[in-house]
Structure 1
Amino acid sequence: MRLQVIDLDGSVACQEPLRRRIDAGEGTCIDAGDLAARLRIVASREAGAGLLDRLAASGRDGSGPPVYFYGSGDFHHLTALLLRTVSEPVTVIHFDNHPDWVQFPATVNCGAWVNRALELPQIRKVVTIGPCSGDLVRPEWQFANLRAVEAERIALFPWRHAPSRVWRRYDAAASFRQEGSHLHWRNLAEEDWTEFLDDLLPAIPTQAVWLTIDKDVLGRGEAVTNWDQGELTLAHLIAAVERLAAERRIVGVDVCGDWSEPRFSDPFRAALAFFDHPPRRRPSAEDLAVNARTNAALINCFTQVLP
C-alpha cells in the first residue's frame, strides 16, 4: 500500500503509528493546513483542486493502492475528490454513523458527498454500513436521497435504527422493506456478521472497491470524534476489511474521524458546524489516544491484506 497522511488539522500526522512510518520512509505527509479552513465542512472548488494538485505532486512512490488518513470527519467529503482519481468502475464501501446522502445543497460537503460520488461515471454503487444517527428520522425532511436507495445505487445498512417515517412509496430493496408509512431497515446488530458479509459480496457489482472509513461509526471506547458516534466495533470493521480484501480488489482507502478543534475563517462554515456537531467538548490527551490505537490497528490490517 502507499500510505499518505494529509495533514489538515494536526490530528493524525503526530500520532506515533503514522509518524513512525513517515519517518521510516514508509509513508508520505502532505501539508495542507493552509487549505483546511476552506475544506472543512464544505469544500470550495479552489481548495479542492489545490489539494488534488498537491497529492499528484507528491508522486506515486511505492506500489499498491493509496491509503489516506486525513483527520476529522468534518473533511469526509474529500472522499468524493479522491474518487476522481479512479479510472475504472468501482463500488464504494462506506463505514459511517451517518449516511452522508443529503441532496441539498448540491455542494461538496460532509453531509452530501455520497451524491457527489454517484455523479462520477466510474462509481457504480455506494454501500453504507453502520449508521445509528438521527439522519434516518424522517429522512425525506432531511433531503435524503431515498430514490437512490430504492434503485440500489445506495445500499444502506444501519447498525441499529428504528423504522423511518416516510410519505412516499418506495419499492423494497436489499437494505429495507416498506410497511405502510415506515421503512424497516435491515439492522446489522440483529444479524450474524459473517452471514451479512456472505450476502453483501454478491451484491457488489464491481471487482474494484474503494473503502472509506469514518471512525464515528465506532463507539466512544474505540474512537473520539467531532460527531455523534455509532456502535459498530473495531473487530467487526476489521473483519469486513479482511473479507472484502480477500474477495475483491481494493483500489484505495481513506480514513477520517479523528478529533480536532474546529477552526473556520468564515461564519458560514462555523454556523454549519455549530448546528450539526453535538455539544462541544475538549477531550483530553488520554481520550484522544484511543484514536491512535485504532489507527494503528487499521494500518496493521491494511498492511496484511493490501498488496
Structure 2
Amino acid sequence: MPITVCNFTNVYENQPFIKGLWLSGEATWIDCTDIPGTDCYCDDEAVETIRKCIADAGITDARGIHFFDNGNYHYMSKIWTDMVQEPFSLVIFDHHPDMQEPRFGNILSCGGWVKKVLEENKFVNNVVIIGVADHLAEEIRKEIASHPADARNDNGAESNDKITFIRKSELPAVTLEGRSPDRVHSTFHIPHSSHLYLSIDKDALSPAYAATNWDQGSLDVATLKEIIAGLATSHKIIGIDICGERARDFAGDEYHTVQEADALNDRINRELVEFLQNL
C-alpha cells in the first residue's frame, strides 16, 4: 500500500518513523510548506497548487495511506476523495463533524470539508463520523433540519439522509459483546456494493494515545483498529487519510511536553501504518 506524506509544518521532521519512510524512499514526500493560503482554510489557488504537486509526484489516484500534518489540514481528505471515481462510503474518525458553513465565500476549510464532499462528490454514497462530540453532532443536526434546502447535494438528495454520527457517548456500545466485527458493522449502514474511504483525525483519540492541535475525544486505539478491521472484512478500502499532529507552535500542555507529544504521535503513526498495511 503506497504511503504519501504531505508536509505543511515540518512536524514530521521530529518523528523518526515518518521521516525514515521518506529517507528510505518508502513514502512519497510532497512539500507543501511554501504554498500560501492553506492554514485552516484552503483557497482555490492553493487547492490547484496542491493538486499539481500530487500529480507531479506521479500520483494518479487516491489509493494508499496519506499523512497530512495537523487537523488544520483535514480538508485534504476532500482533495484526495475528489480523485475517487467509483461509488464509496466515507468513514471518518473525528471529534468534530467538520460540517460548518465557511465564514466567507465557498472556501474549502478544515471545519467544513465534509459538507463540501456531501454537496459536490457524486460518488459518495454516505458518510459516517465516529467519535464526534455529542453537542457538536446535535448542533449540526439542528442546523441541517433548519435549512433543508441548503442540505441538498448536486443530485438533489438530502445530505441529512446520507450522514450518520456515532457520538462520543455511543462509542462504548459500538464494540459491545466482545468487540465483534459483526457488532461494529451493525451499528451503521454501509451499502455492500460500496467501497470504503477512511479519514482518521487523531483528535478522536484520547490524549493518552495522541497529541493534537484540537480538543480531543475518548476513543482508544484498540477500538479504532477493531472498527476498521470489522469494516475491512466486507468492504474494500480504497484509501486512508491520517492527520492530527501537534500544532506548529505547540509548547507543551497539561498532558505532554513537546518531546513527549512527538514521541507519542510517532508511535501511533507507526502502529497505524503497520496495522493498515496488514489488513
TM-score where L is the length of structure 2: 0.84
1:58-137 aligned within 5 A:
58-60=57-59, 65-105=63-103, 106-118=106-118, 119-132=120-133, 134-136=135-137
**Which runs of 5 or more residues in structure 1 are unaligned?**
161-186, 264-278
2:183 corresponds to 1:204: no
Would the alpha carbon gap of residues 280 and 134 (structure 1) be closer, same or farther in structure 2, given more than 3 Å must change? farther
Shift of 1:86: 0.7
- Partner AA of 1:45 in structure 2: D
* Aligned-residue identity in percent: 25
Shift of 1:197: 1.3
Secondary structure, in 3 states, of the residue corresponding to 1:86?
coil
RMSD: 2.8
Shift of 1:20: 1.9
2:216 corresponds to 1:229: yes
Query: CA deviation digits over 1:207-243, x for unaligned, max 9?
Result: 3111000000001110111100000111111112222
Output the CA distance in 1 between the equivalents of 2:193 and 2:254.
40
Would the alpha carbon gap of residues 145 and 304 (structure 1) be closer, same or farther in structure 2, given more than 3 Å must change? farther
Query: CA deviation digits over 1:155-202, x for unaligned, max 9?
Result: 111121xxxxxxxxxxxxxxxxxxxxxxxxxx2224514354130475
Output the CA distance in 2 between the equivalents of 1:158 and 1:152.
17
- Partner AA of 2:222 in structure 1: A
2:176 corresponds to 1:188: no
2:39 corresponds to 1:40: yes
Match of 1:257 in 2: 244
Would the alpha carbon gap of residues 124 and 80 (structure 1) be closer, same or farther in structure 2, given more than 3 Å must change? same
TM-score where L is the length of structure 1: 0.76
- Partner AA of 1:246 in structure 2: T
Would the alpha carbon gap of residues 125 and 298 (structure 1) be closer, same or farther in structure 2, given more than 3 Å must change? same
- Partner AA of 1:286 in structure 2: E
- Partner AA of 2:94 in structure 1: D
Shift of 1:5: 0.5
- Partner AA of 1:189 in structure 2: P
Output the CA distance in 1 between the equivalents of 2:234 and 2:4.
25
2:214 corresponds to 1:214: no
Match of 1:272 in 2: none
Number of residue pairs the alignment of both structures matches: 261
Output the CA distance in 1 between the equivalents of 2:221 and 2:38.
28
- Partner AA of 1:231 in structure 2: S
